[in-house]
Every structure is written in structure tokens, then in C-alpha cells.
Amino acid sequence: MLKKENAVKSLLLTSVLSIQSVEALNIHCGQVFDAASASMLKDRVVQIEGDRFKGIQAYTNQKIDLDYSTGYCLPGLIDMHTHITHENSATRYIEKFQLNEADVAFNAVAFAQTTLNAGFTTIRDLGDEFNVSVALKKAINQGKVPGPRIFTAAKALATTGGHADPSNGHRDGLFPHTTPEHGVVNGASDAMRAVRQRYQDGADLIKITATGGVLSQAASGDNAQFSDEELNALIATANDYGFKVTAHAHGKAGMLRAIKAGVASIEHGTYLDDEVIKAMKKHGTYLVPTLIAGDWVTEKSKIEGFFPAVVAKKAATIGPLLAGSFNKAYKAGVNIAFGTDSGVSEHGRNGEEFTLMVNNGMTNAEALQAATIHAADLLGQASQLGEIKVGYYADMIIVNNNPLADITVMTDIKAVIKSGKLEKHVE
């Protein structure tokens, strides 16, 4: 009976938020996280009209539509590194021979709902299958399915045999010769063509695999995989099309090449050192550390047969190093944005990254800023997302306890509002 009453209440609350075009909605928050100052504002009324925040005022007995007066309200969270179309498991390497486009699409819909329920109202997707993330983005924007706001790179770009070459792990003749359409480049001309293909496909940004990676069926996890010529042509073309470029990178040489060429962020950054840090600070390059992915691959590398042998060796070597690299970059003052690499670890566990960031040096407030204002800045959406602020998208989450005192509450989200619509409400 209680479940039925809660379901009815949630339906009524959703109905309330569906009439926002008629009048502004007042939401009473016990505390509101001001991301710019990294502080809590006590006893505030957040006003929403349409899909935007209309006002934030002190509570003075205004009419209230939603009462979270005992809760803590924060901007909707932003995860800057996800793979919304898949999720790793012991069967992942065989699934690429079993799953059709429709299977991947339905899985992605479920992963999107899980991610939204975890409090992440915006994500950056950094490498999908069949361009499903592009279609999913459109479906979410059109209100056909629930999910976070998606900014997608579509298919990540690689070199032949490199990390993100989709033909890796196939026998000869089973996969067609890879081309820029598949996201595989060899030379400056291919690099330009691949960027233009992503533009045609409907991508929002470009993701390159500047070095080897852990989970690909290739020997090296850290060797440089793009030449300077390829990087310069790729980023010049991306600039022409208004794309930011982000680089998956573990090894030093690949990171330095990518940073100097002008990428906006380095994903992972495992073997960064003082020289890499100096370059990142000089160019304003962000680090997206993905600590939960490091822990996940380390854990799974200990399970016999979970990974192919070539992958297990890399996972056991690289996975344990991510936390130390993050701490080194943080202490040096490198720009840091929140990202999990969800799809490596299970979707919905995104909030665990906050605890890992704090355990490895960040303050609670800084970790929250990494997933709000700093993520929005890297995304190029600092005037739209990342703050509870007049004119911004009305994205907000509510937790029961103060995350500035206990960051683990970020894994227990009470309510989620995205674009002025109540997407989740738990009594």
C-alpha cells in the first residue's frame, strides 16, 4: 500500500512540474549548494519557470509547490566521461559478435535512465557503437525516453590497431578494412575526413585515443598513437567545425603531443609527470581522472579469465596508478573535471567517484565543483549548466544530508529535476 501511495505522490509531483509554463514553481530547499562559492545557502526557495531557473530567494513563507525543506539541493551533476551504449562484464568481448544495433540501442535506453536516477542530468559520451548515442540524444531531447542531456563524440577516433580500432580482436576477414568512417585514421588527410564524418553523424565533440588503452585487445596501454601531423590536422579541422577535442591518454608522449596540439582535456592521465603537468597548466588543459574505472579494472584483473590475457596484464599495471596521478595533478593545480568512464564500471555507480576524489586529496566542495561549474566550463556550457542560477537550465538534485560534511551521500539521491521536470522522487 505504501508503494502505491508513493507512486501516486510521485505522479502528482510530476504533474505539478508539467504545468510550469502556466506559473512559476516554488521549491523550498533547506540548503542550496552555491557552486561558485562552494558554500551552502540556508533556507532558500528555488523558482522554476519552463525549463529554466527563474529565481533563488530566501524563504519568507512563500507558496511552496515542492517541499525539500529538510534536504540539500545541488545543481544537476555532470559526468564528463561515459559510454552510455555499453557496460563491461565478463561477457563483453563476445557480445560484440552477438549484439545487433537494436540490442545496443535498448541497452542504452536503460543505462540512460539509470544514469539520470543517479543524479547526472548531463553527460559527455566519449565513444559509442553504431552512433546510438546520437540517436539517444535526439530521443531524450524530444521527450521520447528519459535520460540525461547528452553531448556525444559518437565513434572515438583511433589509428590502425590502436585503442578504439573496432577491428581489434577479430580474425582476418571478419571485419572490413577500417576507414575514417569507422573512426580509424592514418595520416593528416584521414584525420580531417574522420572529423568531418563525425560532423555528418551528428557528434557534438571529438574524442581521440592519443595512446593505447587498457581494455582494447592490443599489446600497449600507453604508447603514443597519433603523429603530430595527424593531431594538428585533426584539431584544425575540429576548430573549423566548432568541436572541442578530448584525448584518452595514459602515456606521457601521447599526452604531451595532444596537449601541445590543443586538446581541451586529457582523460585518465595515468603516467603524467611534472613536464605533462606544466604543459597542462600552460594550455589550460583539463584532467578528467576516472578513478572508479581504475579501481574497477584493477579489481577485475585479479579474477582469472575475466579479461583476455593481453587486457588483464594492462589492467593490473595501469589501473592502480590512476589515483596517484590524480593526486599529483590536483596538488599541482591542474584543472580537474568530474568523469567516471561509466560503461567500464557499471552505470549508476557514478556518484562513487566523489568519494574516490575526496579520498585522494580533494575537499568535498572541490569534488562537487568538479561535477558542476568546472565540468560545465570544459563542456563549453558555463552559461547554461552547472549552477542553480537565474536563466540556467533547471537541473537540480536533492540529497538528505550535507555533502560538504559527508561526500558519500552523493550515492543516495532523493530527487532529480531536469529541465524543470521531476524525473525522480523518493520518499
Distance, CA of 198 to chain centre:
19
For the stretch 365-387, what's the b/e string if a residue is b when 16 or more beta carbons lie within 10 angstroms of its beta carbon? bebbbbbbbbbbbbbbbeebbbb
Do 48 and 193 belong to one domain? no
Give the mean pLDDT of 64-89: 97
Distance (Å) of CA 55 to CA 48, 58, 185, 392, 398 = 7, 10, 49, 10, 17
Maximum separation of any 2 CA atoms in the chain, in Å: 71
Do 369 and 404 belong to one domain? no
Do 56 and 121 belong to one domain? no
pLDDT for 278-316, tens place per residue? 999 999 999 999 999 999 999 999 999 999 999 999 999
Do 37 and 59 belong to one domain? yes
Do 214 and 296 belong to one domain? yes
Do 326 and 212 belong to one domain? yes
Q: At residue 236, does pLDDT exceed 50?
A: yes
pLDDT at 4: 43
Do 107 and 201 belong to one domain? yes
Give the mean pLDDT of 63-92: 97
Distance separating alpha carbons of residues 105 and 406, to the nearest angstrom: 36
Do 421 and 363 belong to one domain? no
pLDDT at 175: 86
pLDDT for 387-420, tens place per residue? 999 999 999 999 999 999 999 999 999 999 999 9
pLDDT for 357-387, tens place per residue? 999 999 999 999 999 999 999 999 999 999 9
Please provide the DSSP assignment of 262-274 as one string. T-SEEEE-TT--H
Distance separating alpha carbons of residues 156 and 176, to the nearest angstrom: 17
Residue 415 burial (10 A CB sphere; 0-12, 13-18, 19+)? buried
For the stretch 216-244, what's the b/e string if a residue is b when 16 or more beta carbons lie within 10 angstroms of its beta carbon? bbbebbbebbbeeebbbbbbebbeeeebb
Q: Which of 379, 396, 417 is the last residue of a domain?
A: 379
23 pLDDT band, cuts 50/70/90, is low
Do 107 and 238 belong to one domain? yes
pLDDT for 261-276, tens place per residue? 999 999 999 999 999 9
The CATH number of the domain holding residue 249 is 3.20.20.140
13 pLDDT band, cuts 50/70/90, is low
Do 350 and 399 belong to one domain? no
The CATH number of the domain holding residue 420 is 2.30.40.10
Q: Which helix (H) or strand (E) holds 117?
A: helix 101-117
Q: Which residues pair with 122 in a beta bridge?
A: 78, 149
Query: Mean pLDDT for the chain?
Result: 94
Q: Are strands 415-418 and 421-425 parallel, antiparallel or unpaired?
A: antiparallel
Distance separating alpha carbons of residues 375 and 139, to the nearest angstrom: 23
The mean-pLDDT minimum among 63-77, 126-140, 171-185, 355-369 falls in: 171-185
Q: At residue 70, does pLDDT exceed 60?
A: yes
Do 148 and 285 belong to one domain? yes
427 pLDDT band, cuts 50/70/90, is confident
- Total domains in the chain come to 2
Is this structure's pTM higher than 0.75? Answer: yes
Range of the domain at 273: 77-379
DSSP 209: E
Do 124 and 227 belong to one domain? yes
